[in-house]
Structure 1
Amino acid sequence: MPVSLLTPMAAGLRATEGQTGQAISISGLFAVAASLLITTVAGRLNRKWVLVAMTALMLASLVLVAAAPNFAVLMIGRALLGICIGGFWALATAVIMRLVPESEVPKALALMYGGQAIAAAFAAPVGAYLGGLFGWRAVFWALTPIVAVNLVWHMVALPSLPARHRQDFRAMIDLLKRPYFLRGLIASMLSWGSAFTMFTYLRPFLEQVTGVDVTMLSLLLLVLGCAGFVGTWVSSRFLSGNVAPLLKLPALLMGGCTLGLLLFGGSIVGVGLFLAIWGAMNTAMSVIWMTWMAQNADDAPEAGGSLMVAAIQSSILLGAVVGGLLLDGLSIGATFSGSVVLAGIGLALIGNGRRLLKP
């Protein structure tokens, strides 16, 4: 939501757009900490109730953000959301691996990230449109009953998931000692860092460079989000077996789209095309990299999930911080250029993807 409401939130809290972008980076910071600590802190707690607690924390975060009287309270609310994000996603892949047969894990991951595609398709454009009509606070208040229903659904639908064994940091350290896993982790960070350096500040770009109003902004965000369904569908049908050739696609296509926006940002048609490709690859990226993790850390899925989420959230944090500094210090063009540079470095590290696979 802060991406689609960045400009009015900044105005309402009397902050710059770059500063308000840090509401995303602060959630990333706390998500990193939560993802690394969740399996250790949760100990032998039933994973179902840990996930329920994360959803309850999301509800508390929404209330704080919606009612925030100043920038500091907003940051506290976003910090709580970061704990929820880090805790949930660190456990999500390991939970999926317990719920379905091994051969069905890529499809199950695609189904889970289909929820992300739905959110991207509707939340951002609807948020931008309703924010223009009723104000950004009303949008966050409107989300609270949805999350409350989700909280109840977690309690009803999830089966009991007792912890199989107590996790500690040694499992994570063991994974980091494996060269192929460490290389993959860094490559995933560069891919997500590139994506969020651009995506966090997409609204200022569309307003300043493309010259869109709120209605056109909502339509373009809808195009981006709906394209996510395509990415989810394609990844669920064709992702099986050797994942190595696919690892470079997110950085290649999303970085290329960001470059295209820099070159042809004044064209509504061109911008719509690039955002459609970017949106499709955005959801596919999650499925591709989490499938890589499931295949290459199958002996320690919770530790692998913790490290992957920490890496992803660190890159989101880095992207939001660096992008905001470039935006406030130079221009929106500098922010998007930084995104392209990160994608290029990621491509160089990934290569053909074989060095990122376990022997």
Structure 2
Amino acid sequence: MQAMTLSDAEQTPVAAWGAVLSMALCVALLIASEFMPVSLLTPMAEGLGAAVGQTGQAISISGLFAVAASMIITTAAGRLNRKWVLVGMTAAMLASLVLVAAAPNFSVLMVGRALLGVSIGGFWALATAVIMRLVPAADVPRALSLMYGGQAIAAAFAAPIGSYLGGLFGWREVFWALTPLVAINLVWLVMALPSLPARQAQGLGVMIELLKRRYFLTGLVASMLSWGSAFTMFTYLRPFLERVTGADVTLLSVLLLVLGCAGFIGTWASGRFLKGNVGPLLRLPALLMGGCTLALLFLGGSAVAAGLFLALWGAMNTAMSVIWMTWMSQNADDAPEAAGSLMVAAIQASILLGAVIGGLLLDQLSITATFVGSVALAVAAVGLTGNGRRLLKPTSLSIPST
């Protein structure tokens, strides 16, 4: 069988930075839509006549559908032009926001959030593979950093702005306010994205073939441990800051803003300095973020120290996405869509698992135990990654076409 190859023209595309920026805006809106209920949970529950805990399931349901969508999108999309698949995912986000904003009851809310999960999983699974086709290979890290800049924007500002506007106008109006932004983004994507015809089918069989590669499977597990560590800590950061740091509402808002804004530094630095082989950098996110979490256990009683370590943590949190997705683009370049599906499913699953582990440790033991659990996962990630060499693809390896 003949190995999959790309023509020289396809390997060195003319950079389409406008399309990259339109995808960055889409990322910002996806993240804002996914986590907006965190800042609006209580009024949403009251408005729908549901319990707060029950309404909180609106967050987890989108994560579950994102995992499922990321695993099946490349097979379900078949030979469809990838431009129109991404446009369809953005249209699904728009429909989701309308359903949530207009939801007369909890059931409709869950349908809307499930649709958002499909949009999240489908978009993220294809995003890196599309970026690889929009810019030359040497510019992929920079393009990824621009796209993940949208994540930094949403992380820094979506929750506080949503909370503030929700208090002024109501939670439904917050979701309605997002709809024209998504509609504009939808039009921009249609105009900016070039035609992206589907290449060789990369379905379940290719995913299985990737998982048989020891270097890829090891990297996938290491990335799951890294994200699991991050979200074991991040999900329960507020109770830590309230109980250990003694933060009131004002200080809490300042510290969270510091963490979010530091993400811009992470995306800028990763785009500027991430060059060549990314292998030696793969252990850096778990090493630095785990170290910051450990330092918070000892020095988190000081607001100044907490702010410093949260800034470092926030910068590396956004850089982590760029580092690991660059690794994927370099070491699964013969099957980027299948690899993207596996990566997104693994990340979403590890985020959910990290939140569950952290919650159990918090409820059964203490917030300190939750942070210790996060550090333990980070240590495991660093140990598995090592110097990164075992996670690199042999130069002659490629997936055969059928």
Q: TM-score, normalised by structure 2?
A: 0.82
Q: Secondary structure at the match of 1:159?
A: coil
1:38 aligned onto 2:73: yes
1:344 CA drift (Å): 1.5
The one-letter code sitting in structure 2 at the alignment partner of 1:203 is R
Matching of residue 193 in structure 1 with residue 228 in structure 2: yes
Secondary structure of 2:184's counterpart equals: helix
Amino acid at match of 2:41: M
Deviation at residue 10 of structure 1 after TM alignment: 4.7
Whose radius of gyration is greater, 1 or 2? 2
How far 1:8 moved relative to its partner? 5.2
The answer to whether the aligner puts 1:6 opposite 2:41 as a matched pair is no
> Is 1:228 paired with 2:260?
no
- The letter of the residue matching 1:39 is T
The corresponding residue for 1:306 is 341
Relative to structure 1, is the Cα distance of residues 132 and 206 closer, same or farther in structure 2, using a 3 angstrom cutoff?
Answer: farther
Q: Which amino acid in structure 2 is aligned with residue 97 of structure 1? A: M
> 1:8/1:123 Cα in 2 relative to 1: closer, same or farther (>3 Å)?
closer
Matched residue SS, 1:151:
helix
In the TM superposition, what are the counterparts of 1:9-88 in structure 2 within 5 Å? 9-10=41-42, 12-13=44-45, 15=51, 22-68=57-103, 73-88=108-123
The amino acid that maps onto 1:126 is I
Gaps of 5+ in 1: none
Q: Counterparts in 2 of 1:84-103, with a 5 A limit? A: 84-103=119-138
In structure 1, distance between residues paired with 2:110 and 2:244: 28
- Residues 37-96 of structure 1, C-alpha deviation per residue, up to 9 Å, x if partnerless? 001000011111111111111122223444556655544333222211110011111111
Distance 2:259 2:185 in 1: 25
Partner residue in 1 for 2:147:
112
- Aligned-pair identity in percent equals 78
Quick one: distance in 2 between partners of 1:6 and 1:60?
20
State how 1:119-138 maps to structure 2 within 5 Å: 119-138=154-173
Deviation at residue 311 of structure 1 after TM alignment: 0.9
1:277-303 deviation line (CA, Å, top 9, x unaligned): 111001110110001001110111111
Distance 1:50 1:324, change over 3 A: same
Match of 2:150, as an amino acid? G
Residue pairs, 1:123-162, within 5 angstroms: 123-162=158-197
Which of 214, 233, 241 is 2:276 aligned to?
A: 241
TM score, norm. by length of structure 1 = 0.91
Alpha-carbon distance change, 212 to 141 in structure 1, aligned in 2, over 3 angstroms: farther
Equivalent position of 2:16 in the other structure: none
Higher relative contact order by CA 8 Å / sep ≥ 6: 1 or 2? 1
- Greater mean alpha carbon deviation, residues 219-228 or residues 68-77: 68-77
Give the SS at the match of 1:226.
Answer: helix
Structure 2 vs 1, CA of residues 257 and 79 (structure 1 numbering), >3 Å: closer, same or farther? farther
How many residue pairs were aligned?
358
Q: Does 1:219 align with 2:254?
A: yes
Question: Cα–Cα, structure 1 residues 109 and 12, in superposed 2: closer, same or farther, change >3 Å?
Answer: closer
